Structure 1
Amino acid sequence: MSLQEQFAQAQADSKNLPERPDNMTMLKIYGLYKQASSGDATGERPGFTDMIGRAKFDAWDGFKGTSKDDAMQQYVDLIEELKDE
């Protein structure tokens, strides 16, 4: 199975985890997904009034410089880890 196929499977699996991950883990999942699918964060960082948007942007921006393939692999590994909990 190619990395792209594993990534697609992990996306599907992320919707059926045994329990909802904590917020920090959810942000990590989001950041890795965005880095894998879109590359480095772009656009303006949301302002103080958009706390959720700001946290999501920061999570994505935290993976700046990570290659798309590396982000895909980290995403796959994280989802696999969460499936086993």
Structure 2
Amino acid sequence: MALQEEFEEYAEKAKSLPPTTKDAEKLILYGLYKQATVGAVNTGRPGIFSPKERAKWDAWKAVEGKTKEEAMNDYITKVKQLQEAASA
């Protein structure tokens, strides 16, 4: 299976992660997803009065420098880890 197809499959699987998934884990997935689909951060950091948007931006910025392929692979690995943790 091509990396792009596998990435898209795991992006769908990520939508069905249990509600008990920690926000910190979701932010990691968000950052990797944005890096894989958009590339490097292309917006300014949201202000202090937008804590949710700011956290998402920070998560994306944290993986800046990864290639699209690295971000996709890391995303797939992270979703697998979260699925295993949820089923344990």
Which residue number in structure 1 is paired with residue 77 of structure 2? 77
Shift of 1:20: 3.5
Which residue number in structure 1 is paired with residue 67 of structure 2? 67
Identity over aligned pairs, percent: 38
TM-score by length of 2: 0.91
Which residue number in structure 2 is paired with residue 46 of structure 1? 46
Matched residue count: 85
- What are the ranges of 5 or more consecutive residues in structure 1 without an aligned counterpart? none
1:57 aligned onto 2:75? no
Which residue number in structure 2 is paired with residue 29 of structure 1? 29
Distance 1:35 1:41 in 2: 8
Shift of 1:42: 1.0
Shift of 1:18: 4.0
Which residue number in structure 1 is paired with residue 13 of structure 2? 13
1:2 aligned onto 2:26? no
- What are the ranges of 5 or more consecutive residues in structure 2 without an aligned counterpart? none
Q: Which amino acid aligns with 2:3?
A: L
Q: Which amino acid aligns with 2:10?
A: A
Shift in alpha-carbon separation, 1:3–1:50, aligned structure 2, 3 A: same
- For the aligned residue pairs, the C-alpha RMSD in angstroms reads 1.0
